[in-house]
Structure 1
Amino acid sequence: GIHLPPVSGIGGQSNYGAQSVVLSGGYEDDEDHGDWFLYTGSGGRDLSGNKRTNKAQSFDQMFEKFNEALRVSCRKGYPVRVVRSHKEKRSSYAPEDKVLRYDGIYRIEKCWRKVGNQGFKVCRYLFVRCDNDPAPWTSDEQGDRPRPLPVIPELKQATDITERKESSSWDYDEEEACWKWKTPPPPSRKRVTRGNAEDERRAKRAIRKGHNMSVKEKVLKGFSCLLCQKVMTLPLTTPCAHNFCKPCLEGAFAGQTFVRERTCLSGRTLRSQKNVMKCPSCQNDISEFLQNPQVNRELMGVIEKLQQRNEGDEDTMEESCKEEVADMEESSKERGAAMEESSDASPESVENDMPYPQAESSPKRACKRKKVDAGTPIDQKSKRTKKREEIDAGDDETSKIDNDGMENGISGEKPNVGDDLHDAPVVKGRAGSVSNREKTQEAVDEGNDSPSSPLHVRSEEDDFQ
């Protein structure tokens, strides 16, 4: 952003210089003239306790911290971003709306110390605008040009005056007619990672995982000892309602006695005095509690249950991850084996494996069987192949039935071989016509595919369908 600190009016570091300032009317010594202004440094006010702001100055300002950062920028000639706030009521260049307005690049030409309006010394800085873009309060289309420095009367009584003796890092280039860096800008203090991008992503994931703790882990963190900052073991609850581990609390008072023996100057023994043992978190005396400390069983039970549930969740997560990896490996192996077998098999062997009824079945039925075969393991395919061979053998035997068997099989009392047998003619003689036999044979073959056919063998495939 333009200005990083959320409260301070100066953004920078004492060893590297300042990057930005905000004109917000915090000091009554400020003077704003638009293209140049006199800025007062920070400090000199009592902000002890809970005070965020204090208008009254109580001691002198020094060139340290943020004030020193501005002086480094003055010596090096670094550009400084300037932001004006609507809170600056004394300036006619401040924005009218309640906003913070960026007004461009300025350069610190001089800095000094002088006695301020409240009687204490303040640090003063002369800012002069040097931006390639025009100021927001002007109608100019071009940026700033080098201009002579204004006359500052207060410099006559000033002390610790600092002026730039070397060439400025940010200066005007006559050839290009613009302000630019004459020397390389100072290196950024932001950490730059030049490692592998994948390693950086993994590190970010690990950090994110550490932040996204589970609810149980957060609850367990609330049961931490106030001394060792770890989950309590053998928790003790003091009368002042503070929780500690028993070893930690006893170790804090190791070597101390509960009673102190006293003697007078003559050597006579006086009445013993009780030693005061203060709680590590407050000023209450817990010496009587330490004489016979009792472990808080209820609190210990809650901690143990949370720890067991947390460990159980981690174990189940690890087991589920291992099972998923194993399933993926097995499925990949089965797919590879199935692809190898399908590539090695010839078209003739595939045709021989197909049973006779399926060869003449409808296209929809064939598509369904292909889907089932593609989604079933190889062992089940071998079993089905055997069953289909048995069906083929049964079809060959039925084709060898003589005319008597054909007559008896077709003209029986249970003609539910198929829907087409109801319309087939019944052969009454031993020497029937050839046309009738062919029609009957076709009806039998077509009836083999129906579930009510006596030649139909029920398989796992039919159960699936």
Structure 2
Amino acid sequence: MRVKVKYTATEEINIFLTVENVRQMTATWLSKELDKELQPGRIMLIYCGKQLADSMKLFDYSVAHGDTFIAFIKHQIEEPANDDSMGEAADAPHPTAIEDDAPSGKAEDIAMEEDGDLPPLPNCDVCKNDSVKDCKSCGCTECGGKDDEEHTLSCDECGRFFHMRCLYPPLTIVPEEDWFCPDCFNKNEGVVEGEKTFGKSARKAKMPSATQTKSWGGGMACVGTTKKCTIVDKDYAGPIPGVHVGQSWRYRIHVSESGVHRPPVAGIAGKSSTPAVSIVLAAGYPEDEDHGDEFIYTGSGGYDLSGNKRTAKIQVFDQELTRQNLSLARACAAPINTDVGAEAADWRSSSPIRVCRSYKVAKKHPEFAPAEGVRYDGIYKIYKYRKERGHSGPYVWRFWFRRDDPEPVPWTPEGQLRAKELGLELYDPDGADADGRSHSLRKPTASSSVRVLPNAVLRELIRLDSANDRIWTEVLKATFSSESAFLEAVTERMFICAVCQELVQMPVTTPCGHNACAKCLCRSLNHSTDCPVCRASIEEMGDKERIMAGVNQNLVNIIMAMVPTYGKDWAIRPAITSVQRARRTGQPIVG
């Protein structure tokens, strides 16, 4: 039987009222109306198609004032207090159950609401509560029978009753979780529920990728960078401070984070308006030639990549001297010629280009390829470029590179010895599984850290910066995974502005030992005379105007020695004094 119960309290509804309280108040009211005791366990409350659990509160079901419940009353129950069919559903624990700490409501707050012609008492319009007559309205929806209540299920969505024997296929075990009738049950095919994963659909199973075993790099090309190189600008041409020839990374995304070659997929880093700054050799074109100190690099384009042709290996279009190809031409010290190409009169005056070799080069030139990952091989320069007919027929643009780097190449014994002395190892933050997948992109562990000692010139500049003795003492005592990590610590953590949280520009060091940009500190002192870090009074520590005007030139010189692009818009490089020149060259001090 179904009875609608409506909350009709005149005061604001207590949303923390428990379902058990509502069930008890409903049973109390019905017992008075029926003039016989009705156990709360015989009442099942339904709200918005869901059976309410005793351990929950109305708040958990988003019940608002004036909402309506549906109450089902079980008949022919010999032991109402131990009603299994009702008790298991009503008393089932809920994963988000909250302990009841709210006062229970009053029975007077629950009232019956008439539904059309229904009398206020529980009633069935079809069979008039005839316990013998079959009725699909209050009995089994399939056969209409009212027997075998222990094996009768109620749909958690529509509330109709079904004998387990009348279902197709028949059920032999009472479901422990929510159960839905065939009309309310939906198959969630292709839908991820909780921690479940997608299964192979019929269409996916027919695709070539369903049976492919090739490793595509573990999807590392599209994971996204976790940091950005701040040591140099994006378009900086030349070697990256702290990165030596022979340094290697397992994945291209790590090369991007280091700043050596920023595009995670493209082989050329450059745009049509500026010269290219770096490339990656991966033997992607049949026209490529590699001779170590010199190589011929084929430009980009010419493949039909429409639709599902991303792996096309036959060139169908002529390459054009645009975009990345034009950036390579601009790096050559020769006039731009879009018809046939050009050659530099002085190739050393060409723009420097950082060159990396991928392990894929081993397909054609294993003697120059790294064993795994991507390796930085130094600075090369373009001395000519030509438009020639390619192997597939269409024209390609070819660029001739020549090495111009004082560090030894990594495939020679000298280069291998230098890499060993510098402790250059494959950068692989988390290791890789057998299929090439990396777990994450965390930094190397402390066990791989070493102490990085600056050169003699930099140590002398650090000694002169007495205002930051505390910071430099901490930096020089620390250990880092590489020289690049040392530079990152200085430029990204130790000497950031206390106001703008960027590398200090025109740095001012306060008497209390904190650094800030001159403009940022000026704006801060307009509102308060305290240090923006330690809140110490700057006026009490000295002349405020003198402190604000005192740019720490020693710190400027140190950062300029570390970061080639630092202060290029505002810094004035001071002349080297006779004392500094003598200390650097070892000559006696004059004057």
Q: TM-score, normalised by structure 2?
A: 0.24
Q: Which structure is richer in relative contact order (CA contacts within 8 A, separation 6 or more)?
A: 2
Of structures 1 and 2, the larger Rg is shown by 1
Greater share of residues in helix: 1
